[in-house]
Amino acid sequence: MVYQSRTQSEAQLENEMIEQLVQLGYAKVSIPSIKNLQENFRIQMDRLNKET
């Protein structure tokens, strides 16, 4: 992680956070619409419910 200044834009912060999460094994997904968001949420909840 490189800090070039004491402040950074929100976009830079988000990109660094996403990069860190991907490095930890989280999958990066693209959710272009509310419908896709709802579908992804449903899929993730179903997956989690099956694990417990």
Global model pTM greater than 0.75: no
CA gap 21, 28 in Å, rounded: 8
Q: Residue 21: is its pLDDT beyond 70? A: yes
Q: Residue 8: is its pLDDT beyond 80? A: yes
- What confidence tier does 4 reach under pLDDT thresholds 50, 70, 90? low
Neighbouring residues of 29: CB distance < 8 A, sequence distance ≥ 6: 40
44 vs 2, which has greater pLDDT? Answer: 44
Going by C-alpha positions, the residue among 36, 9, 37, 45 that lies closest to residue 17 is 9
Q: Residue 5: is its pLDDT beyond 70? A: no
